[in-house]
Structure 1
Amino acid sequence: MKTGLDVVKAAILGAESFGFGTAPMVAMGCKFLRICHLNNCATGVATQDETLRKEYFKGLPEMVVNYFTGLADEVRELLAELGVEKLTDLIGRTDLLEAVEGMTAKQSKLDLSSILETPVSPLSHPLYWTEPNQPFDKAELNQKIIEETEAAVESRAGGSFYFDVRNTDRSVGARLSGSVAKRYGNQGMATSPIKLYLDGTAGQSLGVWNAGGVEIYLTGDANDYVGKGMAGGKLVIKLTCTTFACNDATIVGNTCLYGATGGKLFAAGTAGERFGVRNSGTIAVIEGAGDNACEYMTGGIVAILGATGVNFGAGMTGGFAYVMDSNETLKVASTRNR
């Protein structure tokens, strides 16, 4: 997706939302060199190297705004040419498209008739989304946390708070981190933190975007994406074990610390797959991990006091990883996946 014409064609074919990746990056200065994984981007876009970012990155938010403004203007012009008032009126209007004759032998054999067939809406329902899906998670725990910690955040005094958590409670701590960061910045309450003591099983994204000044202590376990995008603070997860070895238990799910930039995570147990993906500044200690741990990592420190799966450190260009390879399997796994 790059132009207004792309948007219009996609809408005619049934699209209701439109994603843009490459074009906004180019608008900010990306030259599409395809070396993002090497940490030496010549335009300072895809790198953690402060020198490259300072000297070569010239991107501004206004550049992206300008791109999307131009894109929207082009869409409006095309709508006017077609005599259509709103973009939603285009959705499913395949009668406005016609197939162009193929230029090559392979293209000429393509049959697009099924794609260009005009859809029939049952019971005269519109062909586009009209009513929002009601979220399953009402974020009641997050709201409760905000209400009980409001005075402590406002006074910047910090404090300890206790809650039960269930696996239907998702993104626990996100609103609190947002409240702290909005008032004082990412690290504004690091010296007087809000400490949340949770008991139970946390749903996905515990401690997501965690700010400096938010510390979460969970007695139990957590689902995927623990500490995703965390910028500071602390996440501590442990089990209450009586009948089995806690260090062998999977205590956090997959893709924890995805894109994290700061803070600390300590888990008295093992993690699922893709632990520490794109970590660029968090310090973490766990007792084992699945496949693809530390993938694309560019900074931070990860200590794994146990076994890891295959493909460890794939695409890793920075930071430090320490693995207690008691069974001497890490070298074998790495060799097998080269």
Structure 2
Amino acid sequence: SFRETTPIPLAEVEPVSEIVKYFKTGAMSYGSLSKEAHETLAVAMNRLGGKSNSGEGGEEEERYQLDENGDSRMSRIKQIASGRFGVTSDYLVHADELQIKVAQGAKPGEGGQLPGEKVYPWIARVRASTPGVGLISPPPHHDIYSIEDLAQLIHDLKRANDRARISVKLVAKGGVGTIAAGVAKGLADVIVISGHDGGTGASPKTSIQHTGLPWELGLAETHQTLALNGLRDRVVLETDGKLLTGRDVVIAAMLGANEYGFATAPLIAVGCIMMRACHLDTCPVGVATQDPKLREKFTGSADHVVHFMEFVAEEVREYLAQLGVRRLADLVGRTDLLQSSDRLKTHWKAASLDLSRLFVMPGYSPENRQYQEHHVSASFDGRELETLITDQSFTEQQTFTFPVTNTDRAIGTNTGSRLTRLYGAMGLPTDRLTLNLTGSAGQSLGAYIPRGMTLNVSGDANDYVGKGLSGGVIAVRPQAKSSFVSSDQVIIGNVALYGATSGELYVNGQAGERFAVRNSGATAVVEGIGNHGLEYMTGGSVVILGDVGLNFAAGMSGGVAYVLPKDVTRFEARINRELVVTGAVSDPEEATRLKTFIERHVARTNSEQGHAILANWDHVLSSFIRVIPSTYQAVTTLMAGYAQQGHNTEEAMLLAFETHIGRGTGGKQ
């Protein structure tokens, strides 16, 4: 409860229009929610001056344009989850805040799932996947295994959009304050502490039974830990997890939150009746379904959400007046205004609770706000390219040559974001801007670079090459003076092409572990890879001119791989056959396409192995092993059949989807 203080007149408290700017919607993905519900939330929050969160799964480009009435359907917070679905350069530049979802309150320690029957063609298009094929976000981010790795992703995203704040979403748990301290040192601008009590509508039952802790506990620990370690002034703290009323907001502020996320409440405002059938695609009110017939039942309006948020803000104003505080920001960390409820003294079970640790008030002043220094101008692009490349430079073909070292990280990313802002998702013709680099490139070479950019490396590269590749071309080859056999050596690091959506990667040598994890559209040619290759891949084509590591193709639900192993028996033992089947490359058109990939590889890298394969093509072709997910093969075969019947691409995708999930043929399978 609140302590009694000297109240002030309500007229002296900051207006509703200022308070709602601290409000956000929680992360609710397009795919889990219907198009209508997702856009309604975005419109409402943009009208208020708050922010809506896209959740995982991308966002349609059409939403980046204003409606005729001036409304914006764009989510100002874009989420980057472990699946990296729909995370492109264009997606990233259309944001005021980029949120890395490390965990979620509804199911901490787990990834996300979107059942195949909800992956309609329009969802598949945004997520760069296949209609009817279920989507899985891995439990971990495969480029985050330490605070240093998280700092690298923050570094990459800040280069992909240097105008956006970088947010990291954590879950309330014991010790979260220590984790948050590391996140703050990793240069996050915003830290979200998510509670256990929200977002469980689409979670498996086993997950709901093992959620996190209340946001109050995690928030108080985080605020105190950061303040005691001199880090609190550097970050904005946000909390969510079933915030419903103005009183919830006021308590969150007192415990240390600067910003406040709502999810369940605004969903109810647009018509959700909490059927908890989100995962079944049977939502009767059109909020959490992709079924066109059920979506017609959606009756929500942005006005409903606006009114709800304004009522919450007005209630906050009343509490502020009662507490004698003029601004919500001045209430942050004021635990001296909180006290234990009298019910703790009278209830036999609650009487043993000691809440005193929640009320600890470390030194913190909102007036001392500092901002994280991301040193964007000191990075490779800022140092070497900023003065050379103007907006007009992209209008003509240009080539630049630079030496690089392994401290030059995310080369090309910031320049790529400039290109995307100018030319949109389609970018420019291939090779419009070429960077020839000599030496050892640092982490995240070419992360998120769009179509029109080409990076040629003569040397080697560290981890995360082509992370989120968005249409650009990357080629890595050993230096001419190298004496080793390139196909026998690892020349790029781990987790290359993580979340790539389009573009090309050619590697004259081997790659490390988790090559092309979650690739959804890029083409790659490499001469050998480590363990867990092509994990969770959903699209694109990968050619491997050599051996693979253990657990190859685990969770692979889309795309195709062509492998030329040195030892077929060892390859057969290393492949994970849960979702994929293998076979020969027997179709002439497919063989021609495979040959084209290798020809491009030779043209880009002058690969000796590539030359030898092309010189003996008719003999070597029979040794290639095609790896393809069985479900993906079935759906794409259906799509091709409908296309041959005269249906356009959109119609063929929808018909294949409906046939695959069993609609019209006796119900869902």
- What is the TM-score normalised by the length of structure 2? 0.40
Alignment-derived partner of residue 522 in structure 2: 282
| Matched length | 308
Root-mean-square deviation (CA, aligned residues, Å) is: 4.2
Q: How many angstroms apart in 2 are the aligned matches of 1:330 and 1:111?
A: 59
Tell me by how many angstroms 1:218 deviates: 0.8
Q: How many angstroms apart in 1 are the aligned matches of 2:433 and 2:378?
A: 19
Deviation per residue, 1:149-199 (Å, 9 max, x gap)? 337634x22121111222222221123222322333344421562111011
Alignment-derived partner of residue 11 in structure 1: none
1:118 aligns with 2:360: yes
Q: How many angstroms apart in 2 are the aligned matches of 1:256 and 1:308?
A: 14
Tell me by how many angstroms 1:56 deviates: 5.8
Instruction: Give the match's secondary structure for 2:380.
Output: helix
Tell me by how many angstroms 1:243 deviates: 4.2
Structure 1: which amino acid aligns with 2:571?
Answer: L
Alignment-derived partner of residue 305 in structure 1: 545
Instruction: Give the match's secondary structure for 1:322.
Output: strand
- Aligned residues: percent identity? 33
| Structure with the bigger percentage of helix | 2
Alignment-derived partner of residue 148 in structure 1: 388
Q: How many angstroms apart in 2 are the aligned matches of 1:296 and 1:182?
A: 30
Tell me by how many angstroms 1:209 deviates: 1.6
Structure 1: which amino acid aligns with 2:454?
Answer: E
Instruction: Give the match's secondary structure for 1:221.
Output: strand
Q: How many angstroms apart in 1 are the aligned matches of 2:29 and 2:365?
A: 31
Instruction: Give the match's secondary structure for 1:217.
Output: strand
1:225 aligns with 2:464: yes
Equivalent runs, 1:20-31 vs 2, <5 Å: 20-22=26-28, 26=33, 27-28=37-38
Preserved CA contact (<8 Å) 1:295 1:316 = yes
Moved more, 88-97 or 225-234: 88-97
Q: How many angstroms apart in 2 are the aligned matches of 1:310 and 1:272?
A: 12
Q: 1:73 to 1:242 in 2, by over 3 A?
A: same
Moved more, 256-265 or 145-154: 145-154
Q: How many angstroms apart in 1 are the aligned matches of 2:381 and 2:318?
A: 48
Q: How many angstroms apart in 1 are the aligned matches of 2:486 and 2:304?
A: 52
Preserved CA contact (<8 Å) 1:190 1:233 = no
Deviation per residue, 1:1-45 (Å, 9 max, x gap)? xxxxxxxxxxxxxxx999943377534289x9x752748525853
Q: How many angstroms apart in 1 are the aligned matches of 2:308 and 2:29?
A: 11
Alignment-derived partner of residue 474 in structure 2: 235
Alignment-derived partner of residue 145 in structure 2: none
Moved more, 246-255 or 34-43: 34-43
Q: How many angstroms apart in 1 are the aligned matches of 2:457 and 2:123?
A: 36
Moved more, 261-270 or 322-331: 322-331
Q: How many angstroms apart in 2 are the aligned matches of 1:126 and 1:142?
A: 36
Q: 1:305 to 1:192 in 2, by over 3 A?
A: closer
Equivalent runs, 1:100-249 vs 2, <5 Å: 113=355, 115-121=357-363, 125-126=364-365, 130-135=369-374, 138-143=377-382, 144-150=384-390, 153-154=393-394, 156-191=395-430, 193-240=432-479, 242-249=482-489
Q: 1:276 to 1:115 in 2, by over 3 A?
A: farther
Q: 1:307 to 1:91 in 2, by over 3 A?
A: farther
Tell me by how many angstroms 1:228 deviates: 1.6
Q: 1:91 to 1:275 in 2, by over 3 A?
A: farther
Moved more, 159-168 or 326-335: 326-335
Q: Which runs of 5+ in 2 are unaligned?
A: 1-21, 40-54, 56-105, 107-111, 133-289, 580-669
1:36 aligns with 2:275: no
Q: How many angstroms apart in 2 are the aligned matches of 1:192 and 1:239?
A: 21
Higher relative contact order (CA 8 A, sep 6+): 2
Q: How many angstroms apart in 1 are the aligned matches of 2:302 and 2:535?
A: 32
Q: 1:311 to 1:131 in 2, by over 3 A?
A: same
Q: How many angstroms apart in 2 are the aligned matches of 1:51 and 1:335?
A: 23
Q: How many angstroms apart in 2 are the aligned matches of 1:128 and 1:329?
A: 63
1:326 aligns with 2:566: yes
Moved more, 235-244 or 83-92: 83-92
Q: 1:45 to 1:86 in 2, by over 3 A?
A: farther
- What is the TM-score normalised by the length of structure 1? 0.73
Runs of 4+ aligned residues of structure 1 deviating over 4 Å after TM superposition are 16-19, 37-40, 49-52, 55-58, 63-75, 84-88, 97-101, 107-112, 335-338
